[in-house]
Amino acid sequence: MTTNLIKYIKKSLYLYVFIGFVGLCIASAGSFEDFFKAAKTDDATTIRQLLAKGFDVNTTDPQGEYGLMIALRESSLKAAQALIEAPHADLNVLNSHGESPLMLAALAGHLDLVELLIKKGADVNKTGWTPLHYAASKSQLPILRVLIENHAYIDAESPNGSTPLMMAAMYGNPQTVELLLQEGADPLLKNQQGLTALQFAERASRAEAAALIAKPIRANRPPAQW
C-alpha cells in the first residue's frame, strides 16, 4: 500500500467521522427543540418517540427548565404523563421557586398526575413548602386526601413555619379547614411571625374558617379558675 493511498484513506475516514459528528449535532439540536415544543403543546407522541431514541428526559432548556415542569405549567397533561412514566425521570427536581412537579400538580388539581407521581416515587414530604401546603391553599380536597393517605405530614412547616392549616385558613374554603382538623392538624401552632391558623383566618375575614378552628381550641381550653 503506497503512502499516498494511506493518506487518502485516513482523510476519508476523518471526513466520514466529521460528517457523522455534524449530522449528530444537527439531529440533537432538532431533537432538543422538538422536545420542549412537544412539552408545551401536549404532544406526547413526539416525546415518547424522542425518548425511545435516547433523548435524556431530564434535559433542561436554555432557561434551566425541565420538560416536565413546562408541561405542568402549560397544562399539557398527556405530555406530562409521558414524561412522568419515562424511565430515569427525576420526579423530585425543583424549579427556580423551589417547587417540585408534585407541588405544581397538586396546586392545579391534576389528581391523576398526583397519583401517578406518588406511585413513581415523588417526594410527598419535601423540605419547606410541600404539596400539602399547595393543595390546601387551593382547596384541592381529593388531592389533600390522596396526599394524607400517602403519609403527608399534616403539620408540615414552610420556611417561615406556616402549616397547611394556616394556608387553608387564609386561602382555602371551610371544607379544607375541616378536613385538616379532622386529620389531626394542630390549630395552636404558630409560625415565625407568631401567627396561628385562627389569626390567619381572622386576618382574611374568613368567619366560617375561624369558627371551625376556634371550636377545638375552646374544647381543649382548661376550665376557668374561680
**pLDDT tens digits for range 28-66:** 446 999 999 999 999 999 999 999 999 999 999 999 999
C-alpha cell at 55: 433523548
Spatial distance between the Cα atoms of 83 and 68, rounded to a whole number of angstroms = 6
Topology of domain 1-90 in CATH is: 1.25.40
pLDDT(103) > 70:
yes
Q: What is the residue type of 224?
A: A
- Fold that domain 93-221 belongs to in CATH: 1.25.40
Give dist(CA 109, CA 124) in Å, integer. 15
Give dist(CA 7, CA 52) in Å, integer.
39
State the pLDDT at residue 218.
77
119-133 pLDDT per residue, tens: 999 999 999 999 999
The SS3 of residue 4 is helix
Tell me the average pLDDT across 90-114. 97
Contact (Cβ atoms closer than 8 angstroms) between residue 160 and residue 192: yes
Q: Is the pLDDT of residue 135 over 70?
A: yes
Give the residue from 135, 172, 163, 139 showing the smallest Cα distance to 150.
Answer: 135
Tell me whether domains 1-90 and 93-221 share a fold.
Answer: yes
Burial environment of residue 64 by CB neighbours within 10 A (0 to 12, 13 to 18, 19 or more): exposed
Q: Which residue has the higher pLDDT, 21 or 172?
A: 172
- For the chain, domain boundaries: 1-90, 93-221
User: For residues 113 and 84, is the Cβ–Cβ distance under 8 A?
Assistant: yes
Beta-ladder partners of 60: 66
Residue at 115: amino acid letter: E
pLDDT at residue 24, rounded to an integer: 36
CA distances from 165 to 82, 136, 199, 216 (A): 33, 7, 11, 13
